[in-house]
Every structure is written in structure tokens, then in C-alpha cells.
Amino acid sequence: MTFFQDGPVLGNQYLGDSLLRSVLSRLLPPPLLAEVEPDLIRFGGRVAADLPGMAADAERNAPRLVSFDPWGRRIDRIEVAEGWKRLEAVAAEEGLVATGYERRYGPLSRVVQFAKLYLYTPSSAIFTCPLAMTDGAARLIEVHGDADLRERVLPRLVSRDPGLFWTSGQWMTERTGGSDVGTSETVARREGETWRLFGDKWFTSAATSPMAMTLARIEEGGRSVPGSRGLSLFYLETVGADGGPNGIRVHRLKDKLGTKALPTAELTLDGTEARLVGVPGAGVKQISTLFNLTRIYNAISAVSLMRRGIALSRDWARRRTAFGKRLFEHPLFVETLAGLEVELHAAFQLTFHLVALMGKVECGTATEEEAAEMRLLTPLTKLSTAKQGVAVASEVLETFGGAGYVEETGLPVLLRDAQVLAIWEGTTDVLSLDALRAIRKERALEPLLRGAAVRAGSVRSPRLGEASARVRQAVEALSAHARRMADDAELAEASARSFALGLSRVTAASLMLQHADWCEANGGDPRASMAAARWCARPLANLVDAEKGHRAESRALAMDEPPGRA
Ligand code: MFK
């Protein structure tokens, strides 16, 4: 063997990211950028230096359930890798949750926080999952918690001290349904002043967290209210007052496609002491405060995995020689990678726009319309970025040829971890239906589409004129389809996914145009314009015209049935 190839090398992940830097330059006033940038530069170096080793250790040493002690007593202890514990300490020290609650930068605190999460996630073995639930629980307690939770628990969730920092679980999924939460069977019974929970939780992520938010059906006199209206929100701690496991039995850890370092358990609550949070029967609505936030974390994770894959591929393109020249000298390779970069720009703009809106809503500086826009953009951004994340990760692996399929290169984990983003926190279909819920209940469509049309219409650069016109046409097509959906519930449901993807793509397009215009006016970097023009040249609103005949055909095709049933 005479030939050996070099693997890709990661440089400073802040300094090397022109997109992140230009978006932060637009979103943050110069004095604020000057204040936070040294920290981002330092952290951009750290995520390429010591964090990957921690993540590799966490991936290599998957969590392990120890059910019994040497003398036969049931202990149900989940052991996690040193690397996983260190990633938790890093998260606390770096203020990855805290920054959002200290609100030192007012409504822009979330932008600063999410820039750091974006740097952290691909080097974290998805420790971002517990962080997402922790942040969601913190927000939930801020909004719905009582004085004790606010004074005793909230400071731990938002602490920068690894010794005090707590992560939280979000135990929603039962065997009856990950999507159909209203069928949950766990019950809550009152014993004096104490609530006790009884039931099985089927997918509990970050099961080593000291606390969790969960749902249970209050049972009185053996009776309870069925459906999601019967579910209430409960707070529990995983260590009881006696130092024991608080009635929690862990049956096994899930053997998953990815997120290998993350302990995900099946467990039973058998008399677990818990505390009712908020209003009985409003559990699903209240816990949506938490899962709407984890859905935004999902989006930043998708974007960050895309970016990491592209960064590795780009570095590789400069090193790898094939057919007598470097990969970046091959026109077809360059086309493929440029296409991935365009996807990244779209997902990035959508996600950071949503994050900026979240900051405004939480600080009370958002208008009602912006709050409605945030409600709708949350499922839209989650579902579209997750789909892009999987597709981009798959393409990135392919750019490496066989090396992309070999575990030791550290590349396959990108695809395995991206795949879950389209599943947990609501699948693409469930989120498409949630977008319809937001449109019906919050009247969120009009502000969203108006915003997109205004941004597209405000573009000054002549080279973006055609792109701007395409966005405005797509807005019209989506508005027309929405009018048809309002009159036909079945059509609305059957076309919900293509409609949601269309809304996401059009909103992303308008944000890309806005950013491109800003870049041209501020220093003249043309890459944002190039990406925007290419994105807008693709089909934006590819709507499925799901009228009755179409639905009957879909049924025949999907179920391989003779035509005629609908
Ligand atoms: C790296 C990133 C890491 C992310 C962390 C990953 C950790 C993984 C942990 C998990 O996966 S936990 C499980 C996540 N599970 C889900 O996300 C559930 C998916 N299913 C849904 O979201 C369904 O749409 C839902 C359960 C909400 C449907 O239930 P229902 O019973 O049909 O709901 P319904 O009756 O429409 O809504 C009940 C109330 O909640 C209504 O309010 P009202 O009482 O005022 O009418 C709804 O408007 C409200 N609601 C529902 N979804 C909402 C919402 N409000 C605000 N935002 C939403 N998204």
C-alpha cells in the first residue's frame, strides 16, 4: 500500500462560518456583536478542539442499565460515559441554557444563545437533547410554575454552575401513542396532599435527569376524563425524599438507530410522587410551552448538523485527489456541494428568524402578529429543517464515498443523528397538522404570508428581481390554496404536508432575499444573493392538489387496493 488519504480537519467553527457571521452582523447591533464575538470565537475553537473527544467517548461508551446491585437488590441505575458528563458540565459553564434566561441582551439573548447551541450541537453527541428539554422546562416553569418551582428548581435549570445545574426530562410518550398523546394511560391519584403517578412511559429521553415534566390523567373515585382534555401536567423528581428512586422502575434502554450516547428508557411509574403544575386538564396545552421550544432546538440541531457535514466535505474537497485533480476542481462535485450550501442557507435563515421572534415574544416586545407568526413558524421550521437535515447528511456522506459509510471516520453519526430530528418532537405529518391548528386557532397565516410578500417586495438589488417575483407568485398560490382548504377539511388534511413545506420554503426564500439585499448594501458579499437566487429558482410551493379523485387514487396506491375507495 503506497497511498493513504487524509481525513477532513475541522477549523474554528465560528471563524470559518461566513453565513453565521453575516447573519449575526445583521441581527446584532455592532456594539453587541463586538461584546459577544470574542466568546463565540473562543467557543468556535473549543467545539473543534476538546469537545469532539468528549463526544467520541460518549458515543463509544453507550449508556448502560444496571438493574441490580451485587446482592440482588433492584437499583435500576443508568450509567453514562465520562464524556457525556463532561458535555453536561460544558453546557452549564458555557451558559447554553442560562443565556436565554439571564436576558442580558434583551430580546436578542435567544439569538446569542442559539448561535452557541449551533456551534455546540454537532460536537455534543446530541447532549442538545437534554438541553432542549431543560430549556423547555425552564420556560414552562416561568409561565406556569408555582413559587416553589420558580424559586427552587428554575435556578438550577438555568445555572452556569455544573454542580448546581439540572437537566430535565419530558416524559410524554406512552405505548398508546407518541403522536396521539391524548390516549395516554398514566393516572394520577391523590393521597392526602400528595399526588402519585401510576403508569408506563415508553420513550423517556435523558432518563438520568434529576427531574421530568410529564402528563397523567387525574383519577377520582376510579373515574377520569378520557382524551387529551383529561391530561394534567406534573413535575416529578427522579430521586425521592428518602433518597430512593421515587417509585420509578427502569425496564430497559432503547437500542436506537442514532443518538447512541443519549439514555432513552422504558420505565414504570409506580406511586411516583409528583406535583400538579398549572390547571388540571390543561396538560397538553401547557406542555406545548415546552415542546414548542424543543421543536426550535430541533431546528437549530438540524441546521448545525448540515453545517458540520458541509464544513467537513468542503475541507475534504481541498485534500482529496481523484481522477488526477482535487475534488473542488471537479465541476460536478462543486455543483453538488453548492446545492447543499443553498439548502443550509434556507434552513439557517428560517431558524434564526424564528429564534429572533422567540426572543421578542419572551421579552414582551413582539406584536400580536409576530407572536402568531412564531406559533406557526415553530412547526414549519421544525418539519422543514429536519427533512433538509436528513437529505443533506445523506449527501454529505456520499461526498466521502466509502469513507462516509465507515463508522471510524465519525461521518455516519451525522446521518444517524439527523434521522431522529424528523421523528421526535412530532413527525412531519403531525407538525403539518399542527400548522393547520395554528392557522385556525391563531390566525397566523396572514401575518406569515404578508411578511414574506413584504420582504420579497422590498428587495432593491436588480439581480434579485426575478427571484422576488417568484416568491410573490408563490405567496399568491399558497393564499389561494389556503382559501380552498378553509372550505374543505379533507383537502386541508391531505394537502397539509405540501402546504406546510410550501410555507416554509417561501418564508425561507423571503428571508434569504432580505439577507442578500442587506449583504449587498453592507460590504457587498454576494454569496447570500447567489444562494437566494438559486433557492428561489427551485419550486417553492409544490402543492398537492388533493381533491377527492386524487385522494381516492392515493388510497389505491398507498394501500395497493383496487381503485374506488376513499
Ligand atoms: C435536539 C433537539 C432535541 C429535542 C428534544 C427531543 C426529546 C425527545 C422527547 C420526545 O420526543 S417527547 C415527545 C414529543 N411528542 C410530541 O411532540 C407529541 C406529538 N403530537 C402532537 O404534537 C399532537 O399534535 C398533540 C399531542 C398536541 C395532539 O393532541 P390532541 O389531543 O389532538 O390536541 P388538541 O386537542 O388539538 O390540543 C389540546 C390543546 O393543546 C389545544 O388547546 P385548547 O385546549 O385551548 O383548545 C391546542 O390548541 C393546544 N395545542 C396543541 N398543540 C399545540 C397547542 N398549543 C400550542 N402549541 C402547540 N404546538
Residues 97-136: tens digit of each pLDDT: 999 999 999 999 999 999 999 999 999 999 999 999 999 9
Residues 399 and 394: their CA atoms lie apart, in Å, by 9
pLDDT tens digit sequence for 3-12: 788 889 999 9
Strand segments (E) across 301-377 = 321-322, 325-326
d(CA 566, CA 554): 8
Choose from 321-325, 406-410, 432-436 the range with maximum mean pLDDT: 432-436
Question: In the structure, what pLDDT confidence band is assigned to residue 268 with cuts at 50, 70 and 90?
Answer: very high
Say if residue 518 is exposed, middle or buried (CB neighbours under 10 Å; 0-12, 13-18, 19+). Answer: middle
| Residue 533 CA, ligand 1 centroid: distance in Å | 36
Number of domains in the chain: 2
Classify residue 428: in a domain, yes or no.
Answer: no
pLDDT digits (tens, 9 = 90+) for 276-323: 999 999 999 999 999 999 999 999 999 999 999 999 999 999 999 999
Please tell me the distance between residue 291's alpha carbon and the centre of ligand 1 in angstroms.
7
Domain boundary among 255, 284, 313: 284
Reported as a pLDDT band with limits 50, 70 and 90, residue 546 is confident
Of 431, 424, 171, the closest CA to residue 302 belongs to 424
Q: Which atom of ligand 1 is nearest to the CA of 171?
A: 12
Cα of 284 vs centre of ligand 1, distance in Å, is 6
Residue 142 lies in a domain: no
Q: Which candidate, 337, 315, 314, 301, places its Cα nearest to that of 413?
A: 301
The finding on whether 134 has its CB within 6 A of some atom of ligand 1 is no
**DSSP assigned state of 274:** E
- Cβ–Cβ under 8 Å, residues 222 and 290: no
> Which of 181-185, 255-259, 322-326, 545-549 has the lowest average pLDDT?
545-549
Give residue-wise pLDDT tens across range 145-202.
999 999 999 999 999 999 999 999 999 999 998 999 999 999 999 999 999 999 999 9
Last residue of a domain, one of 254, 284, 314: 284
Q: Spell out a b/e string for 463-477, using b for 16 or more CB atoms within 10 Å of the CB, else e.
A: ebeebbebbeebbee
**Residue 149 and residue 143: Cα distance in Å, rounded?**
11
Is residue 118 one of the residues assigned to a domain?
Answer: no
How far apart, in whole angstroms, are the C-alpha atoms of residue 424 and residue 382? 10
Within a domain: 56: no
How far is the C-alpha of 292 from the C-alpha of 287, rounded, in Å?
Answer: 9
What mean pLDDT do residues 325-344 have? 97
357, pLDDT greater than 90 = yes
Does 240 fall in a domain?
Answer: yes
Q: Mean of the per-residue pLDDT values for the chain? A: 96
pLDDT at 541: 95
389 in any annotated domain? no
Q: Which residues pair with residue 250 across a beta bridge?
A: 267
Region 405-420 average pLDDT: 96
pLDDT at 561: 92
Q: Is residue 137 a part of any domain in this protein?
A: no
Whether the CB of 271 sits within 6 Å of ligand 1: no
For 499-536, what is each residue's pLDDT tens digit?
A: 999 999 999 999 999 999 999 999 878 999 999 999 99
* Beta bridge partner(s), residue 253: 265
Q: Which three cell numbers stand for residue 386?
A: 429536519
User: With contact defined as beta carbons under 8 Å apart, do 424 and 258 qualify?
Assistant: no
CA nearest ligand 1 atom 6, residue: 129
Residue where a domain stops, chosen among 241, 261, 284: 284
Atom of ligand 1 nearest to the CA of 182: 31
Atom 58 of ligand 1, nearest CA residue: 288
How far, in Å, is the centroid of ligand 1 from the Cα of 288? 5
CA distance 282 to 176: 20
- Give every CB contact of residue 191 below 8 A, 6+ residues apart in sequence: none
Percent of the chain with pLDDT over 70: 99
Which residues are CB-neighbours of 235 under 8 A, at least 6 positions away?
145, 149, 153, 211, 212, 213, 274, 275, 277
Neighbours of 520 (CB within 10 A): 18
Residue 283 alpha carbon to ligand 1 centre in Å: 10
With 0-12 / 13-18 / 19 or more C-beta atoms within 10 angstroms meaning exposed / middle / buried, residue 367 is exposed
CA 488 – ligand 1 centroid, Å: 24
The predicted pLDDT at position 525 comes to 84
Domain that holds residue 267: 168-284
Could you tell me if the CB of 441 is within 6 A of ligand 1? yes
Cβ(228) – ligand 1 distance below 6 Å: yes
Q: Is residue 555 part of a domain?
A: yes
Per-residue pLDDT averaged across 233-239, rounded? 97
Please say if the pLDDT value at position 471 is more than 80.
yes
C-alpha closest to that of 284 among 191, 214, 373: 214
- What DSSP state is assigned to residue 263? -
- CATH number of domain containing 233: 2.40.110.20
The CA distance from 200 to 175, in Å, is 8
